[in-house]
């Protein structure tokens, strides 16, 4: 399943010209009332609108605006990442590795080398790149500090450091990017998250490290002692974590098997444990709901959200002023909508990449309702004795395979019934529905067959969606099967993902029937690769 962001749910965009609205590539909404926004367009321009508190719109002045204005200094720079602190300050990264910042600088949070007494910066200022020429893959901000992750898996930080949130080993403010080392040295970091005054980092082997303020137990160390250097979240030992998130003063982690953990402050029920007691160690949440595939929180608020493998979205914590202590099911289809509608303030938890716009809704609904509608169709596709009603014109527009099939010199062009024998009904139904909706909803096992189809029909986007479904549905029992499918269909990234999961759960995986049924040649290659990975060290 793929999720669509709905720009209409964010009020700050409601007055925008439709042409500019439809050109948005990515955006973030921030501010004490969710009343400020920055966005980039598909042609590389960068705009801002809103209150302009502390000149955080980067426009070079203090004027508020309801009409988007260009941030001239960033237009054409290739902005790829955007993050904001509640201080407020804003940090963006470009595709060439440049970092820019602007806004409040009372605590060195702009990272441009100026002291804490420097005035607020009203326009983007280039941060001196002392990151070894690396590209930036992730940016995260707390209230007054910033973390960036490089493509080498290294972490740099700067800003307010009164609780050790910059990870320097001390508590003096840091006015320029400094590498976070200590226990992170030699480890490849894959993700970052910031609370108001705390920091988390995820290592590629599934370990989680935290540092900074720990008064509410948000570092998960079993105590309330602040940490000026990274410490491993000991309460997650033995669990392979794939995602991390931080709220104002609480933390969450998601394991590679879809188990959700939370810890830290809980005065609004943001831990989802059914009560309001703080926790100093990671605790499993929502164990009776299902397998989680995505989690979300923001340092601006006390709300938490998570999505199940089925696509169902749950939320808990401070939801529009109410304290919800147990995850409740919503009608949303993506986590971003939780924050647009229920977070206080309504700010984004990550940069949005808009895929659905107001002007396209009617067309999308019409196409969706036309799928498998016998009255309007001009073609019936039959599989396993079951029929699917479609439209030749739509299939030709959406798929090269059908453009080739429905040519005047081919028999299929004159037919109104076509039999398909090489694929199962669920797989082909999912494929045809994808052509109408751009979404896919199948279980991991059928996703393997759909991956085969996508590979044969050269449908690259569909192939990526299938890989995502398989990743979200991997477990001990099906790991070897999914890994074999990835090899067969030359999905290298998926193969690597399955291999890593197998190594992290080696003892259990090698005892499954699927593993015993692996091709002998590949089985030997797998064991050799696992040995090189270090799986058999003792």
Sort strands 379-383 and 417-419 into parallel, antiparallel or unpaired.
Answer: parallel
Does residue 448 belong to any structural domain of this protein?
no
Does residue 309 belong to any structural domain of this protein?
yes
Does residue 336 belong to any structural domain of this protein?
yes
Q: Find out whether 120 and 104 touch, Cβ atoms under 8 Å.
A: yes
CATH no. for residue 96? 2.130.10.30
Residues 168 and 232 in one domain: yes
Residues 382 and 285 in one domain: no
Does residue 446 belong to any structural domain of this protein?
no
Distance CA 470, CA 479 (A): 10
> Which of 342, 348, 346, 296 has its CA nearest to residue 319?
342
Quick check: bond before 87 cis, omega within 30?
A: no
Tokens of 409: 């010199």
pLDDT for 355: 54
Of 404, 439, 474, which marks where a domain is finished? 439
Residues 35 and 154 in one domain: yes
23: left (phi over 0), alpha (psi -120 to 50) or beta: alpha
**Tokens 């609480």 sit on residue:** 250
Does residue 456 belong to any structural domain of this protein?
no
**Tokens 């984004």 sit on residue:** 348
Residues 349 and 215 in one domain: yes
Length of the chain: 538
533: left (phi over 0), alpha (psi -120 to 50) or beta: alpha
Per residue in 516-538, pLDDT (tens digit) is 988 888 888 888 888 888 877 65
Full residue range of the structural domain in which residue 537 is found: 465-538
List, in order, residues 6 or more apart from 521 with CB less than 8 Å away. none
Residues 372 and 254 in one domain: no
Does residue 251 belong to any structural domain of this protein?
yes
Residues 335 and 386 in one domain: no
> Which of 229, 216, 327, 228 has its CA nearest to residue 270?
327
pLDDT for 119: 59
Distance CA 152, CA 136 (A): 9
Q: Which residues pair with 147 in a beta bridge?
A: 140, 157
CATH no. for residue 376? 3.30.710.10
E-strand stretches of 195-271: 198-203, 208-212, 227-232, 241-246, 250-255, 260-264
Residues 351 and 368 in one domain: no
Of 333, 356, 379, which marks where a domain is finished? 356
Of 321, 356, 391, which marks where a domain is finished? 356
CATH no. for residue 538? 1.25.40
Residues 379 and 420 in one domain: yes
Q: Which residues pair with 203 in a beta bridge?
A: 189
Per residue in 394-415, pLDDT (tens digit) is 999 999 999 998 887 777 778 8
Does residue 238 belong to any structural domain of this protein?
yes
Does residue 367 belong to any structural domain of this protein?
yes
CA distances from 497 to 471, 474, 487, 491 (A): 7, 10, 11, 10
Distance CA 459, CA 214 (A): 48
Q: Is 38 helix (H, G, I), strand (E, B) or coil?
A: strand
Sort strands 46-50 and 24-30 into parallel, antiparallel or unpaired.
Answer: unpaired
> In the chain, which residues have pLDDT < 70?
1-6, 116-120, 355-364, 537-538
Sheet containing 279-285: give its strands across.
Answer: 241-246, 250-255, 260-264, 279-285
Residues 347 and 370 in one domain: no
pLDDT for 124: 95
Residues 76 and 99 in one domain: yes
Residues 102 and 34 in one domain: yes
Count: domains in the chain? 3
Residues 281 and 371 in one domain: no
DSSP string, 238-249: T--EEEEEE-SS
């Amino acid at each position: 399943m793929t999720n669509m962001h709905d720009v209409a749910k964010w009020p700050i965009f409601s007055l925008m010209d439709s042409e500019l609205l439809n050109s948005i590539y990515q955006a973030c909404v921030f501010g004490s009332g969710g009343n400020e926004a920055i966005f980039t367009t598909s042609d590389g321009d960068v705009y801002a609108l809103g209150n302009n508190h502390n000149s955080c719109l980067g426009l070079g002045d203090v004027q508020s605006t309801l009409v988007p204005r260009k941030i001239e200094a960033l237009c054409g720079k290739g902005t790829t990442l955007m993050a904001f602190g509640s201080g407020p300050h804003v940090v963006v990264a470009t595709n060439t590795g440049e970092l820019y910042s602007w806004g409040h600088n009372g605590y060195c949070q702009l990272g441009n080398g100026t002291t804490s007494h420097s005035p607020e910066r009203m326009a983007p200022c280039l941060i001196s790149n002392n990151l070894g020429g690396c590209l930036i893959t992730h940016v995260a901000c707390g209230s007054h500090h910033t973390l960036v992750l490089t493509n080498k898996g290294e972490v740099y930080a700067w800003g307010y450091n009164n609780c050790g949130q910059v990870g320097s080993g001390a508590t003096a403010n840091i006015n320029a990017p400094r590498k976070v080392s200590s226990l992170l040295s030699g480890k490849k970091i894959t993700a970052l998250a910031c609370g108001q005054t705390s920091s988390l980092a995820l290592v590629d082997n599934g370990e989680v490290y935290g540092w900074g303020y720990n008064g509410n137990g948000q570092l998960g160390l079993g105590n309330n002692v602040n940490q000026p250097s990274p410490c491993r979240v000991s309460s997650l030992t033995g669990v392979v974590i794939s995602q991390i998130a931080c709220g104002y003063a609480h933390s969450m982690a998601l394991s590679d098997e879809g188990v959700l953990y939370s810890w830290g402050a809980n005065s609004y029920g943001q831990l989802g444990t059914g009560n309001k007691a703080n926790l100093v160690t990671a605790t499993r949440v929502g164990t009776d709901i299902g397998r989680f595939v995505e989690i979300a929180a923001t340092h601006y608020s006390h709300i938490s959200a998570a999505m199940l493998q089925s696509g169902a979205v749950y939320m808990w914590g401070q939801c529009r002023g109410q304290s919800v202590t147990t995850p409740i099911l919503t009608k949303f289809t993506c986590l971003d909508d939780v924050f647009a509608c229920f977070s206080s303030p309504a700010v984004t938890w990550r940069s949005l990449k808009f895929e659905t716009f107001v002007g396209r809704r009617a067309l999308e609904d019409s196409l969706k309702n036309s799928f498998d509608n016998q009255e309007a169709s001009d073609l019936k596709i039959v599989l396993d004795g079951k029929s699917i009603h479609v439209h030749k014109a739509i299939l030709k527009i959406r798929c090269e395979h059908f453009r080739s099939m429905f040519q005047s010199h081919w028999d299929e062009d004159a037919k109104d019934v076509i039999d398909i024998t090489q694929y199962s009904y669920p797989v082909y139904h999912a494929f045809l529905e994808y052509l109408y909706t751009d979404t896919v909803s199948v279980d991991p096992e059928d996703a393997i067959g759909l991956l085969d189809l996508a590979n044969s029909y050269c449908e690259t986007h569909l192939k990526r969606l299938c890989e995502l479904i398989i990743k979200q549905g991997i477990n001990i029992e099906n790991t070897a099967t999914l890994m074999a499918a990835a090899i067969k269909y030359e999905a290298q990234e998926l193969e690597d993902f399955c291999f890593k999961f197998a190594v992290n759960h080696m003892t259990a995986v090698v005892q499954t029937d699927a593993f015993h049924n692996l091709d002998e040649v590949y089985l030997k290659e797998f064991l050799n690769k696992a040995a090189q990975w270090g799986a058999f060290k003792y």
